[in-house]
């Protein structure tokens, strides 16, 4: 009997631990409660330690990053050299393109940020797990950042605030499989939804009207709309699918994000929510059988 009791104890403990875990998971998935608050408080308390340790160990981690990413760095070096040569050639066309861009912007009212107030933030960390595409920034509710606010870089959309504590926030990147954004191609009227496909992969586009064709080099911007978590006109990505004839078939549309999400140092949080900045759904030039082009984002 004694042996039986002894051998039963570890099984009893593991059952207790499993049940405790499942209870916590259930409580968290139900939302609300104390868990998000505890997480926020702990992150705030630990943020100075993370920041100090990160600064102190940056040379070491940088060295190892260099070792582990040697091939990547070589590839980047070659790519940058090629880009440099290409940019020299493109410089010649810059004035013409600037004028064209101005015209297109005026036409589509692509004010990007416009008069929306922003909060500049430093990226202080990447994803805390290997299964979410997020970044951590050093601004939180103390700076006016709220959950759900859009985050942009100089060239376009980065994502939206997923979790926020007093001094830092977690930003869900566009490329996370749980992220999606309503888009509109410029200057074409085609509207749809771009969904993340994972790190380093292009966004998959679903057009509301699959019969529409989009020219190969089109740029997609946020479509905005009532209830959208993003304001209208923020650049999202550039079409990557090969063009067939005058346009690209809707089934094969993918977007390469305009922002290099793997190399973010500073971002801007748009102090913007659908509630504080109600916008009207832009009237697309074509019908949208799939419904409003407003954006959606799956809650993680």
Partner 1 sequence: MNPQSPWLRGAVIVAVVFVCQEAVFRGLRIDGIRTDLLLGLGVVTAIVAGAERGAAVAFIAALLGDLFVNTPFGLSALVACVVAFLAGSVQAGIGAGHRWSVPTLTALASALGVVLWALLGTVLGLPGLLGPRLLVVAVVVASVNALVSVPLAVLMRWVFAGVSVAPSAGASRGYVA
Contact footprint for partner 1 (CB under 8 A): 3, 6-11, 13-14, 17-18, 20-25, 27-29, 35, 38-39, 42-43, 46, 49-50, 52-54, 57-58, 60-62, 64-65, 68-69, 125-132, 134, 162-163, 170, 176-178, 196-199, 262, 298, 300
**Closer of 49 and 92 to partner 1 (Cβ):** 49
Q: Which is nearer to partner 1, 106 or 128 (CB)?
A: 128
Element (H, E) at 66: helix 35-68
- Residue with smaller CB distance to partner 1, 35 or 243: 35
A 10 A CB-CB count for 174 gives 27
Q: Can you tell me the distance from the alpha carbon of 300 to that of 297, in angstroms, rounded to the nearest whole number? A: 9
Q: Which is nearer to partner 1, 153 or 173 (CB)?
A: 173
**Min. distance of Cβ 7 from partner 1 in angstroms?**
3
Output the smallest distance, CB 11 to partner 1, in A. Answer: 8
Q: Give 65 or 90: the residue with its C-beta nearer to partner 1.
A: 65
Tell me the longest C-alpha to C-alpha distance in the chain. 89
Work out how close the CB of 229 gets to partner 1 at its nearest, in angstroms, rounded to a whole number: 16
214 with 182: CB under 8 angstroms? no
SS3 of 51, please?
Answer: helix
Structure token pair of residue 219: 């740029």
How many whole angstroms from its chain centre is CA 195? Answer: 10
* Paired tokens of 224: 């905005």
Measured between alpha carbons, how far is 74 from 101 in angstroms, rounded to an integer? Answer: 33
Integer Cα distance of 44 and 240 in angstroms: 40
Question: Least distance from C-beta 250 to partner 1, angstroms?
Answer: 22
Q: Least CB distance from residue 134 to partner 1, whole Å?
A: 7
């Amino acid at each position: 009997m004694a042996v039986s009791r002894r051998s039963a104890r570890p099984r009893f403990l593991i059952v207790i631990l499993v049940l405790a875990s499942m209870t916590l998971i259930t409580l968290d998935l139900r939302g609300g409660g104390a868990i998000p608050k505890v997480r926020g408080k702990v992150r705030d308390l630990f943020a100075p330690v993370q920041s100090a340790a990160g600064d102190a160990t940056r040379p070491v981690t940088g060295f190892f990053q260099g070792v582990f990413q040697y091939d990547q760095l070589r590839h980047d070096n070659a790519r940058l050299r090629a880009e440099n040569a290409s940019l020299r050639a493109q410089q010649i066309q810059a004035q013409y393109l600037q004028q064209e861009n101005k015209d297109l912007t005026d036409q589509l009212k692509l004010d990007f940020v416009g008069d929306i107030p922003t909060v500049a933030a430093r990226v202080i960390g990447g994803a805390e797990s290997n299964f979410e595409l997020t970044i951590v920034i050093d601004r939180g509710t103390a700076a006016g950042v709220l959950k759900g606010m859009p985050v942009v870089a100089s060239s376009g959309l980065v994502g939206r605030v997923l979790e926020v504590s007093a001094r830092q926030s977690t930003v869900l990147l566009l490329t996370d499989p749980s992220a999606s954004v309503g888009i509109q191609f410029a200057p074409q009227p085609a509207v749809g939804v771009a969904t993340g496909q994972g790190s380093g992969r292009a966004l998959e586009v679903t057009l509301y009207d699959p019969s529409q064709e989009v020219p190969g080099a089109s740029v997609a911007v946020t479509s905005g709309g009532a209830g959208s978590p993003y304001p209208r006109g923020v650049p999202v990505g550039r079409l990557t699918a090969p063009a067939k004839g005058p346009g690209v078939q809707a089934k094969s549309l993918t977007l390469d994000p305009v922002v290099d999400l793997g190399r973010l140092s500073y971002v801007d949080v748009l102090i913007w929510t659908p509630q504080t900045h109600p916008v009207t759904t832009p009237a697309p030039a074509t019908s949208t059988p799939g419904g409003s082009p407003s954006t959606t984002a799956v809650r993680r």
